[in-house]
């Protein structure tokens, strides 16, 4: 049987002209790459006096993200785009600020803590699924549904909140932020920061709204007059010790929502889209879940007993990595293979491209969870699969995200099958995260 083609942006036959390239980047960061960029170890692009290099091999990715990571900072464009919402959080901070923040936040994501959150993850998923009972067969937006589940999870696990009032407002603001703020042509030609860019004022207003909402969340917690063993409690304790400022705690809370809420929601949305394309994969996954769980709720202890579920999730993140691209600014000159990297160049390490490189992944555009079986994973280069980044800046929440994805997936599939609405257009678009441009229309059918 011929597998239906998976959703992908149109690929140009060659790199567009500089002006068309920049305009395409404004719309979606993954829509500019021709076939050659998926297979070439390195692609060089010149835009006026600016140089950009796409590092599309495990060795080059490792060099940029690990071996010579000190030479590569976040690009000025990325900082400008993210700063109004995320300030100097872990996604945007550099050097000593980044190290200090990471040391403070890291204990929240220790394996022992993550395992203890399993029950809350399943409870929140089950609570949300009650909404589907009276809607069987009615179309809905799948990404919005998955975002509602992960919002409930992050509200409860990271902030111990019974109400989603503030967290729902933060999530809605971040959604608006992604939709309005795009890179400007001025960014790519090196224009000074004082020149106004489209969307900048609106983005700053959203950033101000985020500040006010997070301040209310902190006031509500302080009013309780008690310590809680969650992320918010960890951050407030750091403020009390003088290790974080009030502005820094605001930035980290906003960052957690971007990195820990939407990314898992998008992964789950794309995963159900893929299962709809391959019924035999879904059948095998259901058999594993039913055999292991035997109708009881899933727990964190079941993660290792659901290896095929993990393989399915990994393959979904290979095809549709939420963090689709990592851009870095070369502080000094460097060398990638035979190619000289001048100082102040931009180097792109793109999971979207590396995960679809035919030299690394046979038949790269097909959905095949067996790629991640132990036999086929043996000998695979570490940096050929980097959905959470790599090197010192690898995502702190990777373990939490995998635990959450496995438990949410198992809980849903114990009771429901998700079917995509036929003929609804599906196209990935690369904003801050990899989203479906037109959403994912689906129906839920009780098993």
What mean pLDDT is reported for the chain? 91
pTM of the model: 0.94
- The pLDDT assigned to 376 comes to 96
What CA–CA distance (Å, rounded) separates 239 from 69? 29
pLDDT for 405 beyond 90: yes
Sketch out the chain's domains with CATH numbers: 18-446 (1.10.630.10)
Residue 444, beta-bridge partner list: 418
pLDDT for 168 beyond 90: no
- What is the per-residue pLDDT across 313-348, written as a single tens digit (0 to 9) for each? 999 999 999 999 999 999 999 999 999 999 999 999
Concatenate the DSSP letters of all residues of 131-153 into one string: GGGGGTT--EEHHHHHHHHHHHH
- The pLDDT assigned to 363 comes to 96
Neighbours of 116 (CB within 10 A): 13
Q: Which of 31-40, 177-186, 214-223, 400-409 has the lowest mean pLDDT?
A: 177-186
What CA–CA distance (Å, rounded) separates 233 from 159? 8
> What mean pLDDT comes out for the span 67-95?
89
- What is the per-residue pLDDT across 195-251, written as a single tens digit (0 to 9) for each? 777 778 888 899 899 899 989 888 888 888 877 888 889 899 999 999 999 899 999
pLDDT for 411 beyond 80: yes
CB 430, CB 348: distance < 8 Å: no
What is the SS3 assignment for 110? coil
- The pLDDT assigned to 2 comes to 61
- The pLDDT assigned to 276 comes to 97
> What mean pLDDT comes out for the span 264-284?
97
> What mean pLDDT comes out for the span 54-63?
97
CB 350, CB 38: distance < 8 Å: no
pLDDT for 384 beyond 80: yes
């Amino acid at each position: 049987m011929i597998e239906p083609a998976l959703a992908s942006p149109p690929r140009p036959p060659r790199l567009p002209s500089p002006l068309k390239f920049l305009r395409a980047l404004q719309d979606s960061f993954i829509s500019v790459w021709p076939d050659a960029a998926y297979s070439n170890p390195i692609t060089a692009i010149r835009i006026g006096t600016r140089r950009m290099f796409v590092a599309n091999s495990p060795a080059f990715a490792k060099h940029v993200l690990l071996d010579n990571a000190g030479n590569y900072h976040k690009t000025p464009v990325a900082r400008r785009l993210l700063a109004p919402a995320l300030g100097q959080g872990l996604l945007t901070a550099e050097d000593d600020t980044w190290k200090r923040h990471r040391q403070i936040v890291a204990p929240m994501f220790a394996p022992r803590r993550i395992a203890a959150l399993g029950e809350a993850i399943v409870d929140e998923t089950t609570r949300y699924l009650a909404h589907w009972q009276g809607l069987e067969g009615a179309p809905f937006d799948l990404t919005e549904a998955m975002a509602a589940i992960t919002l409930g999870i992050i509200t409860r696990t990271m902030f111990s909140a019974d109400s989603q009032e503030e967290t729902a407002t933060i999530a809605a603001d971040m959604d608006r932020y992604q939709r309005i703020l795009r890179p400007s042509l001025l960014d790519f030609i090196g224009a000074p920061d004082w020149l106004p860019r489209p969307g900048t004022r609106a983005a700053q207003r959203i950033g101000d709204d985020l500040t006010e909402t997070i301040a209310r969340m902190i006031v509500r917690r302080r009013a309780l007059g008690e310590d809680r063993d969650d992320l918010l409690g960890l951050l407030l304790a750091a403020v009390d010790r003088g290790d974080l400022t009030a502005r820094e705690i605001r930035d980290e809370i906003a960052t957690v929502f971007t990195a820990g809420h939407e990314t898992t929601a998008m992964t789950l949305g794309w995963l159900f889209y893929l299962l709809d394309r391959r019924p035999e994969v879904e059948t095998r996954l259901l058999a594993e879940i039913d055999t292991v769980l035997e109708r009881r709720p899933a727990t964190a202890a079941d993660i290792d007993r659901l290896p095929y579920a993990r393989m399915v999730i990994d393959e979904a993140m290979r095809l549709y990595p939420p963090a689709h691209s990592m851009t870095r600014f070369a502080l000094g000159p460097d060398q990638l293979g035979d190619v000289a990297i001048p100082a102040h160049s931009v180097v792109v390490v793109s999971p979207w491209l590396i995960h679809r490189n035919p030299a690394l992944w046979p038949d790269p555009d097909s959905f095949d969870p067996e790629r991640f079986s132990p036999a086929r994973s043996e000998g695979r280069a570490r940096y050929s699969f980097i959905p959470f980044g790599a090197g010192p800046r690898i995502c702190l929440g990777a373990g939490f995200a995998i635990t959450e994805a496995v438990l949410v997936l198992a809980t849903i599939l114990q009771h429901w099958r998700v079917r995509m609405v036929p003929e609804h257009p599906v196209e990935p678009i690369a904003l801050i995260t990899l989203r479906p441009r037109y959403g994912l229309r689906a129906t839920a059918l009780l098993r």
